Chain A
Amino acid sequence: MSTDGRNARLGQDFEDGQDKWQRAYEKHLPGEAKRRNRSGIEVKPIYTPEDWNPENYMPDLGFPGDTPFTRGIYPTMHRGRSWTQRQLIGLATPEDYNARMRRIVDTGATALSVIPCNSVYRGYDIDEVDVEILGTCGTTINTVEDMDVCLRDVPIGDMSIALNDPSPFTLLAFMLCVAKRRGISWDRVSGTSNQSDYISHFVANHMFFRLALDGARRVFVDHVDFANKFLPSWNPVSVVGQHMQQSGATPAEAMAFTLASAVQYAEDCQSRGLDVDAFLPRFTFFFDISISFFEEIAKFRAGRRIWARLAKERLGAKDPRAWRFKFHAQTSGVDLTRQQPLNNIARVATQAIAGILGGLQSMHTDAYDEVLSTPTEAAAKIAIQTQNILREEAGLTDVIDPLGGSYYVEALTDQMEEQIMAVFDEIDAAGGMFEAVKNGLVQDKIGESSLEFQRKVETGEQTIVGVNKYQDDEAINSPPLERPSLETMEAQIATLKKFKQDRSNADVQRALSALSRACGDETDNIFGRLVEAADAGATHGEICACLREELGFGQPLIAA
């Protein structure tokens, strides 16, 4: 860290050189305004050994794969294994999803993800909502049969599958039933419950089925417990900073909120008697990568260092795997512009480089046209190829943490760490993330940061090319819409209705009653009962309705 006084270790030459540079700089740029990054940290024109002392190499950085993990969580990082190219896909019917997903796999995606229709996020079946919006942003999956179609010819058990599965994890339940029917052992089912972070839904994107916070807390811990017992290759927890940063939090705030949520979830599991060394190694994280290049890299490096400390010292994890800050990241959609939309390809590439240099384990690059409509297949392909170019043409994976030792990046990593911890401590003082969200503290902070960013865009302090600078009047051509027809969705609704007629309603009722009882019985596992209900033919909407009934209805605090 820098000190105000001159550092004797750097000698007279350094002082003379620095004074000379300072005079020359100020002559050319007298009275220059201060620059700040998105987290509000002042960014100086130059960084030197005054700002970071290489003698601190071991305590600050160490080697990849070992504490404090600043340089990466694995000894070989991207040289040993590339990040996972995990593109989010989801649209229309399970049939459509299956066809598109297989084409994406052919272009090099090494893992799958499933995005459900917004009706699924909201806890409804497709016959309960307006048909016009069905399947326009994700796939309509309401039953085990739907999931079976989505994953037709997909070797479950050999591929990592991330489910954008808002609590109560019915998509996972459906997939487990499909695995069982195909004779695939649950030991081999691997992937992540991507949307297990109910706090982030409550606070930021409101993509949840309105279960009250206390109920969501119970379902969360039961799901972790179930995964501990029966799903050794599954990551039940993904703590999501992305929602909060997209909603307006600064990079430092988003990291702080995410770490505070992770500690909350871990402590909730511990108070239920779960062994920290059994569940914590399966915690993963999910972040936004904005275009604030160095700030994002420093955010990730600082996050790794803080998590290692929290996991070890605060949560008492002894298994080093629990100290590793494994994360997926997605390039920021908020940074993309509708004006001159092809510019977004450059933005996504820049964000992706920051993510790669920041040491991510898995990445989604946004399609340039997502600001015009739900992404088209052609644009999604460019997004995937961007990753391939960065990895195999640009040589970004040759050296581990190539910015390590940069005076700027190290000083910024330290400053980001300080700022992240200041917000983290504030949340802690408010009683932890659960309480801080209940009383609106986090929502207020996000609201204020979002307004502040908007102010900077309006005053021109923050340039957005094509929006507040270098504008032109080029016509904006939306790509042709790739949207299911009303007839397709009506046919899908008919399929669901037929499914409901053909199943054994007695079995479904029995299974839903068991699910209801589990809600009132702390010794039972809600998720285990939910898997049974799915197997018996209960639909997503029926399961969600049952849980809302038993565990209470939740209304998010809206801070405007």
Chain B
Amino acid sequence: MTTLSEPKTVSEVPEIVKSMARPPRVMVTKIGLDGHDRGSRLVASFLRDAGMEVIYTGPWQQVATVVNQAAQEDVDCIGVSSLATDHLLVPKLKKAMDEAGLSDVVVIVGGIVPEEDEKMLHEHGVAKVFHPGCSRDEIVSDIAHLIAARRKVLGDDV
């Protein structure tokens, strides 16, 4: 597990992130069996470059480990990257999060996710599914807004 906070490239930190009392904290992970991580590495660097604190787990994580780490790291959001159907484990992840009292943590999924699966993921409380070809701006902005909304609901300093 690596924590990324120093941007490698200079890029615009969006207003919404600047306005937050503390930087958004996002865990970028791959659960299940697949190891293809180009997408998750890219997204991790997008978020870091946009002023977020990123906890990057690498591939092959167990659901239980992800939930434990998310609790310890006090993350606002868990981003699950899926190339080879590993997103089918997200309902298990959500269940384990509920049991650990993390129901309010935002869950997003990115990768090769067929339509039918996207519906299923939304039914299980996934806030957003990002597909291939989705832009950096859309990813950063959507995640920042979801996190701001979460903090508001919690009565946290946004």
Contacts and interface: CB of A to CB of B under 8 A. Distances in A.
Nearest to A129: B33
A99 interface: no
A316 B86 CA distance: 46
A558 B9 contact: no
B155 interface: no
Interface of B: 2, 4, 8-9, 32-38, 41-42, 44-45, 54, 56, 58-60, 84-86, 88-89, 92, 112, 114-117, 131-133, 135-136
Given A136-B85, A560-B44, A371 B38 contact: no
B80 to A, nearest CB: 13
Contacts of B59: 206
A377 interface: no
Contacts of B136: 454, 458
7 shortest interchain CB distances as A-B pairs: A206-B35, A118-B33, A136-B85, A478-B115, A478-B114, A467-B133, A373-B114
A375 to B, nearest CB: 11
18 contacts: A121-B35, A132-B89, A133-B84, A133-B89, A136-B88, A137-B34, A201-B35, A338-B132, A339-B133, A371-B112, A372-B112, A451-B9, A451-B45, A454-B136, A477-B115, A479-B114, A556-B58, A560-B44
B86 A133 contact: yes
Nearest to B118: A478
Contacts of A556: 58
Given A122-B60, A136-B88, A558-B56, A447 B116 contact: no
Contacts of B84: 118, 133, 136-137, 374
Contacts of A207: 34-36
Nearest to B41: A560
B26 to A, nearest CB: 12
A481 interface: yes
A277 B36 CA distance: 35
B132 A450 contact: no
Contacts, number: 105
Contacts of B37: 205-206, 247, 558
Interface string A424-457: 0000000000000000000000010011001000
B114 A481 contact: yes
A378 interface: no
B115 A476 contact: yes
A208 interface: yes
Given A205-B37, A372-B112, A477-B115, 15 more contacts: A118-B33, A133-B33, A133-B85, A133-B88, A136-B85, A136-B88, A137-B34, A205-B36, A206-B59, A206-B60, A246-B36, A451-B9, A476-B115, A558-B58, A559-B41
B2 A560 contact: yes
A233 to B, nearest CB: 31
Interface residues of A, number: 46
A463 B110 CA distance: 22
Contact of B133 (A450, A464, A478): A464
A115 B13 CA distance: 43
A130 B58 contact: no
A248 interface: yes
A290 interface: no
Nearest to A119: B33
Contacts of B112: 370-373
Given A122-B60, A481-B116, A247 B88 contact: no
Interface in A122-145: 122, 124, 129-130, 132-133, 136-137
A64 to B, nearest CB: 36
A467 B92 CA distance: 32
A479 B117 CA distance: 12
Contacts of B60: 122, 206
Nearest to A480: B116
Given A205-B35, A478-B116, A560-B2, A337 B88 contact: no
Contact of A450 (B36, B42, B54, B117): B42
Given A560-B4, A560-B56, A118 B41 contact: no
Contacts of B85: 133, 136-137, 374, 483
